[in-house]
Structure 1
Amino acid sequence: MFTPAELLEINALLTPENKIVILTHYNPDGDAVGSSLGLKHYLKAKGIHAEVVVPNDFPKFLKWMPDAKKNIIAEYKRKYAFDLVNDADVIFCLDFNSPSRIGLVGEWLTNAKAKKILIDHHQQPEAFDYVYSDTVIPATSQMIYHFIEAMEDEKLVNQDIAECLYTGIMTDTGGFRFRSTSATTHRIIANLIEKGADPALITSNTWDTNTVSRLHLLALILGRIEVVCNERVAVLYLTREELKEYGFQKGDTEGFVNYGLSILGVKMAAFFMEDLYEDFIKISFRSKDDIDVNQFSRKYFNGGGHINAAGGKSYESLADTITTFKKKIEEDQL
């Protein structure tokens, strides 16, 4: 957590007169959107206006959250988003550890005159004016709750804040299944329910929203999952042609990698997908126990994240990327 002195300084920055912007990472997920909107609604409860800027669009199943459709999407409103970041007095940086993780907005952030406040749970954060970094906490949305507590404003938590933070915690813990989910996490969830978060409604709005294209793509990859490395590693993939054939929409492949990890005996899963428009392969890694996919991704696939959940990127062909992956897991004896 921020030091008491830092909290006083941050509180002094949070005034109606200051222009405040909240940024999150490229390809925003549930925690990115939930933490950003949760913070926005907290500031609103304090009488302070803030704008949320996301680098690119995010899945439809996250747009039910209060004010989600008011997020400024930089790839669609580039000049407006640039002006917001450039003119800001305070910028909250949520759920990313480096400007390189936020696409075209990264350069704007680096050059902005604003005070920059990082709240994030990824490893190896870069320098910001104020840093609250904790890699043990399972979701940035939980860190926002801790920040509100530290500001002695827990009484301000309302239904809008509760719904957004609950969603962020739920999605980044895999429905409270990941081992990083702690007793503290569950106590916060209980508090959010008491503040108005409806678990059944949130789960339905977020996860019970399958499109036909998603189900077709899921059936395709489930029919050809490959298990390698003494049946400890699952490999899944989708080609660009397949995405086009089944009418891929943003968010359709969310969570696909977890199906590989659910196989009995599998300790690591990797999902490879050709980008729909550019020549690179997007990779999602998941693992169990002490298999560190964060370091693995950093070492071989231009990525990073958490010990048991990370992302990466490859500029080889899909076939060559998978071949390289299989070679590296054998070399590292995963």
Structure 2
Amino acid sequence: MLDLTSLTELLAQPCKIVITTHHKPDGDAMGSSLGLYNYLIQQGHHVKVITPTDYPEFLTWMPGNEEVIIYTDNTELSAQLVADAALIFCLDFNALSRINELGVLVGQSSAYKVMIDHHLEPEDFDDYRHWDINACAAAQLVYDFIVNVLQKPEYINKDVATCLYTGIMTDSASFRLPNTTSDVHRIVANLIDAGANNSRIHELVYNSASENRLRFLGHCLANCLEILPEYHTAIIAVNKADLQRFDINTGDTEGIVNYALSIATIRLAAFIVERTDRVKLSLRSKAEFPANEICKKYFNGGGHRNAAGGHSETSLEETVQKFKNILPEYKKLLVQ
């Protein structure tokens, strides 16, 4: 294990550092990773961000993005960087399986591993942990790590602030979720004071859709949305042919499940999509309904109470039916 004193001493001199985050990184994954990256390079460290896979185009504008290495495109370089690292920061994930093949390399590495995360039930692969399930985003915890743990608030410059603001904004659903506390708003205010342009960030993330993506959204709502009123549940199920028809790219399906949840009577929404290798599920819920429990128990996944994900090895039709068959077990929670 690595205590805070030892970690601080290690960070006191330039060293080789790798930052990685989960498969198919979202705004919080990239915001927290690049926020930490922009902090560490100010200290003179040799830092590389390695993502397990590609990520949405609407996140590629963030400061430092040009230095990101995608593992699936650069396996040999990634392996060498992990092998040479003295420190590996693991952001926004709590199990090495969440970074796919990269997890094997990280697990085998002799580098000290630092987890900064807010998901339930972390695995014990890390040497130092900055973890809080009540945090609204990993980016919030990176801010706390820099400001309160390392006590380096003066290094929250415009680039750091921009990335961390993006992570907090996206993982809090634009500051709408219950864990967007007054402390979160104070952090966000500090990030704006440090140079984060909140309106511009919102524009880059949420108002940069392609025409295909917008037409695909219309198709999902008009033709794929199914309401189960007896369970206050909505399902959007999309097959592989529709993804090809609308030329859907990484990130284009993000957030669609929230449209189903926005219906007043709906307490649980599912976006179920047929991918090349498996069927993926994204669940969103209101109030205390445990979407993460369904994903963990039935769909090889997990997440937060109100936002979780999983996958199925069966067909799209069988997965949808399995999801429907589970609902009677949760009827009391759904109709209360």
Structures share a fold, TM > 0.5? yes
User: Contact between 1:231 and 1:265, CA under 8 Å: does it hold in 2?
Assistant: no
- Separation (CA, whole Å) in 2 of partners of 1:59 and 1:16: 34
Match of 1:205 in 2: 204
Moved more, 6-15 or 263-272: 6-15
The AA in structure 2 aligned to 1:107 is: V
Query: 3-state SS of the aligned residue for 2:326?
Result: helix
Which stretches of structure 1, 4 residues or more, deviate above 4 A after TM superposition? none
TM-score, normalized by length of structure 1? 0.96
User: Are residue 226 (structure 1) and residue 226 (structure 2) matched?
Assistant: yes
1:78 aligns with 2:75: yes
Amino acid paired to 1:285? L
Aligned to 1:142: 140
Quick one: which of 3, 11, 17 aligns to 2:8?
11
For residues 185 and 65 of structure 1, do their structure 2 counterparts lie closer, same or farther at Cα, with a shift above 3 Å needed? Answer: same
8 Å contact from structure 1 (residues 15, 48) kept in 2? no
What TM-score comes out, normalization by structure 2 length?
0.96
Q: Take 1:50 and 1:70, find their aligned partners in 2: how far apart are those partners?
A: 9
Partner of 1:22: 19
> How many Å apart are 1:227 and its aligned residue?
1.2
Tell me by how many angstroms 1:132 deviates.
1.4
1:37-57: CA deviations, max 9, x gaps? Answer: 000111112222211000011
Quote the residue 1:247 is aligned against: 247
In structure 2, stretches of 5+ residues that fail to align are none
> Hey, what's the Cα distance between the residues in 1 that align with 2:299 and 2:26?
20
- Unaligned stretches of 5+ residues in structure 1: none
- Counterpart CA distance in 2 for 1:155 and 1:227 is 51
Within a 5 Å distance, the mapping from 1:55-204 to structure 2 comes to 55-127=52-124, 128-149=126-147, 150-204=149-203
Q: Is the 8 A contact 2:268 2:284 kept in 1?
A: yes
Is residue 316 of structure 2 the alignment partner of residue 318 of structure 1?
A: yes
CA positional deviation for 1:17: 4.0
- SS of the residue 1:164 aligns to: helix
Equivalent AA in structure 1 for residue 182 of structure 2? A
Structure with the higher helix share, 1 or 2: 2
User: What's the counterpart of residue 54 of structure 1?
Assistant: 51
Instruction: Give yes or no for contact 2:14–2:44 (8 Å, CA) kept in 1.
Output: no
Cα drift, residue 106 of structure 1: 0.6
Distance 1:14 1:287 in 2: 40
AA partner of residue 37 (structure 1): L
2:163 match: secondary structure: helix
2:21–2:91: 8 Å Cα contact kept in structure 1?
A: yes
How far the C-alpha of 1:97 sits from its partner, in A, is: 0.4
State how far apart, in whole Å, the 2-side matches of 1:268 and 1:180 are.
Answer: 18
Moved more, 221-230 or 200-209: 221-230
Percentage of matched positions with identical amino acids? 43
Partner of 1:270: 270
- Matches of 1:40 and 1:289, distance apart in 2: 35
Matched pairs, number: 329
What is the correspondence of 1:250-261 to structure 2 with a 5 Å cutoff? 250-261=250-261
Q: Deviations over 1:79-135 (max 9, x none)?
A: 001111122111000000000111110101110000000000000001111111110
